[in-house]
Amino acid sequence: MTSHPRTGHVHGRRRRSGDRRGVASILAMMFLILFGSLATAMAIASKGNIRNSATHLHVMRALGAAETGLRIGQARLAESTGRFIVSHSEINAAFGTAIWNGTWSDPDDPAPLASPSGNDEASAPAGIAQAVANLHAADQNIRTDLGVSVPTIGAAVTDADLTVYAEDGWVYTPIVWLDTDSGGDHGRPLAFSVTYAPLANGTDVRVIATGYDFDYKGSRPITRTVTQDFRLVKRVNSAINAPTRIMVGKNVQVVGDLAARYTDVEQTHGDPIVMRSDFFGLDPTLDSKLTDFFNALASHDVDGDNRLRIGHSIEGAGIPLDKDYDGDGHMDGAFADVTQDGFLDEFDIFLKHYDKNGDGMVVLSAALKAGTPAAMLTSEFVGSGGLPVDDDLAYLLDTANPDRNRNGLHGFIDTNGNGIWDEGEAFVDRDQDAGINRDQALGYRDGVLDRRDQYAKVRGRLVLKVSDASWKAARPDYDSRLRGSLKPRTGQSPRLYDAPDDVLPDIGVGNFSSSMTALKAAADGESFAAQVAAQLGISTGALAAYVETKPESSDQPRYLRLDPDNTLDGLPDNWETAYFEKMPYNSPNFSDYYYRPVYQNMTFKDVRIPIGTNALFRNCTFVGVTYVRTTTSNGVFLWSEYGRMDLDTGSGRPKPRVSRIVYGDSVGETSYPTMLPSSAIPPNQMILMALSSPLDKADIPDNMTGSINGYESLPEPLVIGGKRVTDTKPHSNNIRFHDCLFVGSIVSDSPSTYMQVRNKLQFTGKTRFTQRHPEFPDDSSLNPKSSDLAEIAKSSMMLPNYSVDIGTFNSPSGQNVALKGAIIAGVMDVRGNTSIDGALLLTFSPTAGQMPLVDALGNPVGNPAGFNTSLGYFGPEDGDEESLDPDTLPIIGGVRIAGWDTNGDGLADVNGNKPQPPGSTPVPFHGYGRIIIRFDPDMVLPNGVKLPLRIQPLSATYREGRL
């Protein structure tokens, strides 16, 4: 009974097992098919991926070849462009198109330079396009069966958008293999070609580089194209470019590169660049800290930026050990990275020294914190008596970087025209809704010094023509004369030695066009005499006899005349009463004396100052363009000796160093020097002959030449316009502008030879430069013509081969000279409060054995290192023979004394290191002032400055893909 059910149960299970085996077989077959399909699909996909990967590899290879072509195209465009030295400076559509196509013509421009690559050319290229084509024509590893077989200049491609591209002037170049010929495409698969497409705007060129990979197995190569635009520009690369030595003193900052071509380092004082610390000399304890820091730099500063990198294996290890410098029993922590920039420099040490409460900032004096967010804080940059340590330095540091947020808006409305921000004056970049001054919120003129001020002595690099080895061999310790941190641009070294000419161009007097520049042409006002006479209320004919009766304190126009030398005694006929002064003005080591006419309280507009004026202008306004005339052919080594004067002890007034008599006005005086033309002998011109110490052969009668020892070694006489010259002052222009306002620019002729005694301009007192009148900006008579503004904006000063002094050897605190654009001079000295926004370009290259460093026989004399561009105060021990070094001045009653005033004019007549003369008063040193030079890479140079063209990469225009 019990087994039946069990048996039935067993039979049932067996039937189901057979069924399941069938199902399993079906499922197995299904999975087999499925996995087989998947395997096949995966194999197909893998093969596709391999093919895609291979294709992608070829694409990337072609793209790499295109990138190579683009960089080669850029380099060749730069080389070709740099061969063209041009006087024209406005790179507009017309000029850009003409210089590219070879239709530009200017008689002042030299022929294109030889190809720097040294490739042969059938003829010099007329334009940049041809120069580029010539450069590509030298390629030998080319493919000739695709594209063009030789560089070709032609029309735009057929589908080019002529609103973007020029319709002609395109340069097409052959395909160039990237490796050597090894037979067949598969032996050298990669290549590139470059097309140069001028754009419709006339100033830009698009470099189109196509890369080829011929190793692809299809019928055609894989190609990729990249493009980038480049702009034609004419510019200098440095804030200062000088063939002389450059000396950067205390309280001086430079934003941009310092470029010095001077190489004669074996001369005494032969360092091409000298830089003084802004912080040394403020406090003896700080000096001790800085001395230890300088010693550490000498042995551990590996890159020459005058900083020590925190954590660096060599520089970081050189950071001085902490000391108790002030003797309070505690370590000072003097060498902390206060600015948190990863470096230790002088500014860090300065901040730590004066930061009394350890909050990371130094509060300025009461005068400088007034009206700022720090007004209620306790001043820290003050001495024990609460007096400022150096307000000029403090202001310079607090304002050196005006556009802190880099939005293009910065500065303030200088209501009182004193050049500094005062309480109540409005900031330009102000958020009215939030009620904050944006730049001030980032540390600009906020009344404190801290990490936000981002100090650097030079925010750029030192660019030198001399090699490091040459400089070090001649002056092994030269690093000790380079103080102050250097912060170069990203990717640049702090110092560049052996700089090539394309980086450090030679800007000599020959770089300036001899033709009338636009600035000179703008000086088209009434004649100088007419403008003077009109303001005096007289005719021009009455000027010769005018006698000034108004007192010196008058605010009316005044004129103190200077008479000509009609008596032929080497003096103006009114020498006994005429105004005279030392030259350079108030220099402790002056070169000459000058009698000067004086023009006071006058306004001149677009005036040309005649040759030989040699005036003093007091409190005068010069509107528009002021053009100073001078003789350009002055290549006579005695040019500065003719007319030199010494102080006569008997009269107390200057008289000629070489006394002369009139020869030819008496019976029997007929033995005229035979080398003189008929126009330079009686009766056409009386002959002036030296009583002793003759300067040239015409100082001796012809019948006495045999008895004069050394006669043959005397130089020939100077003859100008058929007349013999014994005084070159009437043929030059040495002018001083005191307390003057220039609303515009000043320009001069270009003397062929630098003669600093005769051709010199001095800007003293509270002289100012601006482009709009500070008090009457809407008065057309007191502002430049609108048609001249574009040229005026290019240069406040264009004075090639002139000696220029800004400030005096003890400049007053009220000085405020603000220059813009390309500031051009032969040599320039800057002292006192001065700002230059643009670039300083100097033209005089002092060379031993060349004028003016030769004697009468042409033998080398003098020291080329004695000619230098000085920014700030230096002294004779630095090679600045005309100046005084404030560090050497005596301290009397706690005040540095510049000298002794013996005549009550407030100027030092006797050196302060000499005993005080009876009745004299001490003249205090007015301070170092503050000087800043900011390079403006976007400034447009004046026409007439001959410089090579360059290209500017426009990084935002880089594209991948076809046109």
Question: Are 89 and 182 in a shared domain?
Answer: yes
The answer to whether 926 and 907 are in contact (CB under 8 A) is: no
For the chain, the C-alpha Rg in angstroms (whole number) is 38
The answer to whether 128 and 81 are in contact (CB under 8 A) is: yes
- Can you read off the two tokens belonging to residue 181? 């010929």
| 3-state per-residue secondary structure call for 603-625 | EEECCEECCCCCCEEECCEEEEE
Helix, strand, coil shares of the chain, percent, nearest 5, are: 25, 25, 50
| Angstrom distance (rounded) from CA 457 to CA 641 | 40
| Angstrom distance (rounded) from CA 341 to CA 58 | 45
| Angstrom distance (rounded) from CA 861 to CA 308 | 43
Residues in the chain with pLDDT < 50? 1-15, 182-183, 185
In a domain, 679, yes or no: yes
| Angstrom distance (rounded) from CA 478 to CA 464 | 13
In a domain, 148, yes or no: yes
In a domain, 16, yes or no: no
Residue 334's alpha-carbon distances to 309, 350, 541, 589, in angstroms, are 16, 9, 72, 41
Question: Are 220 and 260 in a shared domain?
Answer: no
Tell me if the bond preceding 584 is cis, omega within 30° of 0.
Answer: yes
Question: Are 629 and 574 in a shared domain?
Answer: yes
Question: Are 783 and 827 in a shared domain?
Answer: yes
Question: Are 219 and 263 in a shared domain?
Answer: no
Query: Where does a domain end: 698, 723, 748?
Result: 723
> How many CB atoms sit inside 10 A of residue 104's CB?
19
DSSP-assigned letters across all residues of 213-279 = ETTSSSSS-EEEEEEEEEEEE---S-SEEESSEEEE-TTEEEES-EEE----TTSTT--SEEE--SS
Tell me which residue has tokens 């300036």. 512
Handedness of CA 871, 877, 882, 887 (dihedral sign): positive
Tell me which residue has tokens 């195209």. 73
In a domain, 345, yes or no: no
| Angstrom distance (rounded) from CA 186 to CA 245 | 58
- For residue 21, the model assigns a pLDDT of 64
Give the amino acid at 152. T
Tell me which residue has tokens 């024209």. 88
In a domain, 243, yes or no: yes
In a domain, 813, yes or no: yes
What is the tally of structural domains in the chain? Answer: 4
CA 271 to chain CA centroid, nearest Å: 19
Ramachandran angles phi, psi of 792, nearest 5°: -60, -35
Query: Where does a domain end: 707, 723, 739?
Result: 723
User: Residue 189: exposed, middle, or buried by beta-carbon count in 10 A (0-12, 13-18, 19+)?
Assistant: buried
Question: Are 193 and 267 in a shared domain?
Answer: no
Question: Are 696 and 753 in a shared domain?
Answer: no
The answer to whether 809 and 587 are in contact (CB under 8 A) is: yes
Query: Where does a domain end: 704, 723, 742?
Result: 723
| 3-state per-residue secondary structure call for 849-895 | CCCCCECCCCCECCCHHHCEEEECCCCHHHCCCCCCCHHHCCEECCE
In a domain, 11, yes or no: no
Question: Are 59 and 165 in a shared domain?
Answer: yes
Question: Are 709 and 800 in a shared domain?
Answer: no
CA dihedral 601, 605, 610, 612 (to 10 degrees): 30
In a domain, 923, yes or no: no
**In terms of residue numbers, what domain contains 122?**
46-235+949-960
- Can you read off the two tokens belonging to residue 779? 């008065």
Closest Cα to residue 562, out of 571, 551, 549, 553? 571
| Angstrom distance (rounded) from CA 937 to CA 239 | 9
- Can you read off the two tokens belonging to residue 761? 């301009």
The answer to whether 727 and 570 are in contact (CB under 8 A) is: yes
Question: Are 231 and 241 in a shared domain?
Answer: no
| Angstrom distance (rounded) from CA 917 to CA 902 | 7
Question: Are 220 and 73 in a shared domain?
Answer: yes
- Can you read off the two tokens belonging to residue 508? 């000599």
| Angstrom distance (rounded) from CA 751 to CA 755 | 8
- Can you read off the two tokens belonging to residue 910? 């006797």
Phi-psi region of 736 (alpha: psi -120 to 50; beta: other; left: phi over 0): beta
Question: Are 628 and 738 in a shared domain?
Answer: yes
User: Residue 548: exposed, middle, or buried by beta-carbon count in 10 A (0-12, 13-18, 19+)?
Assistant: middle
Residue 392's alpha-carbon distances to 361, 542, 952, in angstroms, are 18, 47, 37
- How far does the chain reach from its first CA to its final CA, in angstroms? 98
| Angstrom distance (rounded) from CA 522 to CA 519 | 5
| Angstrom distance (rounded) from CA 491 to CA 461 | 11
How many CA atoms does the CB half-sphere of 497 hold within 13 Å?
Answer: 11
